[in-house]
Amino acid sequence: MKKMTGEIKKDRGMLEIDEAECKGCGLCIEACPPKVIAMGERLNRYGYRTAIYAGAGCTGCGICFMACPEPGAITVLRLSSPGGVAAARTLGGATRCASN
């Protein structure tokens, strides 16, 4: 993601979306402030088009996690170091965000 000055803004988070749990409701897509979640073209084994992460621009805010009605569908990770090692602090100070 780029800032207005042309600098590249580093990712502060990352998403993991479990295709088997996602029912394609789109609530996470609407809730995402940086708009880095979209609806995929593939169908999961239940016949739902599922949400997909664009792979860049996540802030690690956890709003998508909170909006998702499906337990286990979204895991939000916050990047704790510049090297990209993921450790979550999105909800309750846990070492990794528990899924809904």
Please check whether residue 21 is in contact with residue 71, taking contact to mean a CB–CB distance below 8 angstroms. yes
At 85 the pLDDT is 46
Condensed to tens digits (0 to 9), the pLDDT of residues 34-49 reads: 999 999 999 999 999 9
26 has pLDDT over 60: yes
- Mean confidence (pLDDT) of the chain: 79
Domain parsing of the chain, residue ranges: 13-78
| Nearest to 69, CA basis, from 11, 6, 23 | 23
Domain boundaries 13-78, corresponding CATH code: 3.30.70.20
10: confidence class by pLDDT, cuts 50, 70, 90: confident
At 6 the pLDDT is 54
- Half-sphere exposure at residue 60, Cβ-oriented, CA atoms within 13 angstroms: 18
